[in-house]
Amino acid sequence: MDQALADAVLLVHLAVVLFVVGGLVAVFVGNGLGWRWVNTRRFRCLHLLAIGVVVVQAWLGATCPLTSLESWLRLRSGQPGYASGFIQHWVHRVLFYEAPPWVFTALYTGFGALVGVAWWRFPPR
């Protein structure tokens, strides 16, 4: 049961990552293509909140609660937990690349700055 819950948390975490990354892409592409929904206040505020939480966690050196929950559930089910954060773990698994935590903090901060640029360039309605 814990393994199934860990897998569900992983899917939720993946959905959050896709929302954060895909949301910014949607804002830039959608404004170029005239998609009105990409500038709705609800969408933009949820997107800003999501990346804001990521950036604040990174600056505080805090582990994402979804990463902690998934790792804990995996350990309870007898699987190995994460030795690092969610993104670091999957970047390593996919790209076989390791980087110190400050690299990911810088990337998250830069991405958050891009979201700020999108708010300035394409303000929500």
Is-contact 39 122, C-beta < 8 A? yes
Checking if the pLDDT of 95 tops 50, the result is no
Of the two residues 86 and 71, the one the predictor is more confident about is: 71
Percent of the chain beyond pLDDT 70?
A: 86
- Tell the burial category of 6 from Cβ atoms under 10 Å away from its Cβ (0-12, 13-18, 19+): buried
**Which 3 state secondary structure label does DSSP give 18?**
helix
Q: Alpha-carbon distance 57 to 28, whole Å?
A: 25
Mean pLDDT over residues 53-81, rounded?
88
pLDDT of residue 96: 44
pLDDT of residue 8: 85
Q: Alpha-carbon distance 64 to 100, whole Å?
A: 16
Checking if the pLDDT of 92 tops 60, the result is no
Quick one: DSSP state of residue 15?
Answer: H
Percent of the chain beyond pLDDT 90?
A: 54
Quick one: DSSP state of residue 3?
Answer: H
pTM here is 0.80
